[in-house]
Structure 1
Amino acid sequence: MNVVLSLGSNLGRRFQTLQGAIDTLFDAPGLSFVAASPVYETDPVGGPAGQRPFLNAIVVAETTLQPRALLERAQSVENAFGRERKERWGPRTLDIDLITVGGTISDDPDLTLPHPLAHERAFVLVPWSEVDPAGVLPGQGQVADLLTDLDQSGVRLREDLKLQRPD
């Protein structure tokens, strides 16, 4: 199955955390790296005022894991990088969201697929469109089409940062 993951960080060594998360996610069987988007610096969406900007990227992969197992792996990697869940949309060392997992549709409150807010988030759709121009968000449409209605002013390309394939 094809999977799209959104990675973000606005605490600590943001870029090193994103790269470390990629290396750690793919350090076990069941998940194969396909591509990583360019890195974008983005204004925080929601949450408390005064947060530091995020670094965001999209990772496309292939997986043999079931969605629940993939979520558990993502949360384990978040925890390994010091993720604390204190307040919704608050600052965080690492956030890994499952955007799509194949064509899986899930209404489970712990794992809603596709991600229920992805179609509203330029910090997801802009990098996704870079790494997968033909990308489709199930139930919403082509990523490129979804971008036409979004304000992209808070999403800035960081040409000085490039994520590497996992070791």
Structure 2
Amino acid sequence: MNKIFKVLFMLSALSLLCFAQAKQTTTITKDIVELNENGAGKKVGTVTVTETANGTSISVEATGLKVDAVQVGLHLYEKNSPKPTKDESGNLVIGGGLGEDMGDLGSLTVNADGSVNQTIVGELEYSDIKGKSLVITDDVNSYADNTQTKGEEPLYVAIF
């Protein structure tokens, strides 16, 4: 009888260990840079994506943001190139290489000194972000509309 309990205990411990290993925490930190006519400019902060078994958090820490609004949007863009492009008329489109806005992840509060220190919890997985960009825009609610048709301008980007 004692041997049976030992075997059951070992099997229970092994199954718990296997379950814990199935979904480990993944944390990726990338620089946030200012977008300009040359593509990526100076670093203004970091964004950290942490994926756990309980969900994904996106932590934004930045300083010196040059925005007019107290609230800005955090968006997922389809591509990861900060290079500018040109529109049909030949005008420069800053951040045009980012492609289209795939979704609004929420709003960020910008303090009076231009700093942000905020975490957003979402239903994304890191695989949803990999190869794409997280972009801070002056438009809080674009609801996945194209930046060129909506009028928002990508201001800062973290490339994944």
Q: TM-score range by the shorter chain?
A: under 0.3
Greater length-normalized contact order (CA 8 Å, ≥ 6 residues apart): 1
The structure with the largest strand share of the pair is 2
Which one has a bigger Cα radius of gyration? 2
Q: Return the TM-score normalized by structure 2.
A: 0.23
Q: Return the TM-score normalized by structure 1.
A: 0.22
